[in-house]
Amino acid sequence: MAGIVTEKQKRILFITLSIFGVILILFFGIRALKAFRKFEGHRPPPFAEELQTDVETIEDWMTIPFISHNFGTPPELLFGSLNIDPRENHKKSLKELNDEFFPEADGYVLTTIKATVLAHQPPPMPDTPAIPSPTP
């Protein structure tokens, strides 16, 4: 009779699991409330990431899709500036692309990508002119 579970054992198991479930619900519920209070009624901005504008931050370890995403430049434009097929080269870093396609010109890919990204960026907004104060 070792495999038979009595009604009392079932009840004890049910109560134990129920209490454990309530404790888990309370634990994670309190954590969720603390997280929601942290926002203080504010929603995150729709585009939390700002596009980069300083092309000098582009380095040779970056891939063209990464640069495209961070600088808002279409990857087709970047690959086109290098005359490289994007299908098999989209996971390669700028250094790998330079070593494979332009081994005689060190830094060519990095320089070309920086120039292309810079040319694709919109012109900077002019500062609003200060209103001159009237002279008495």
The per-residue pLDDT for range 43-98, each reduced to its tens digit, is 655 554 566 778 899 998 999 999 998 888 999 999 999 999 988 898 999 999 99
- Over 97-120, what HEC string results? HHHHHCCCCCCHHHHHHHHHHHHH
Q: What is the DSSP letter of 61?
A: T
Could you tell me the two tokens for 104? 């005689």
53-59 long-range Cβ contacts below 8 angstroms, 24+ apart: 53/121, 55/114, 55/117, 55/118, 56/114, 58/94, 58/110, 58/113, 58/114, 58/117, 59/94, 59/110
What end-to-end distance do the CA atoms of the chain give, in Å? 108
The residues facing 93 across adjacent strands are 63
In the chain, domain spans: 8-41, 55-120
The pLDDT of residue 15 is 97
Q: In the predicted model, is pLDDT for residue 31 greater than 80? A: yes
Residue 136 has pLDDT above 80, yes or no: no
Question: How much is the pLDDT for 133?
Answer: 60
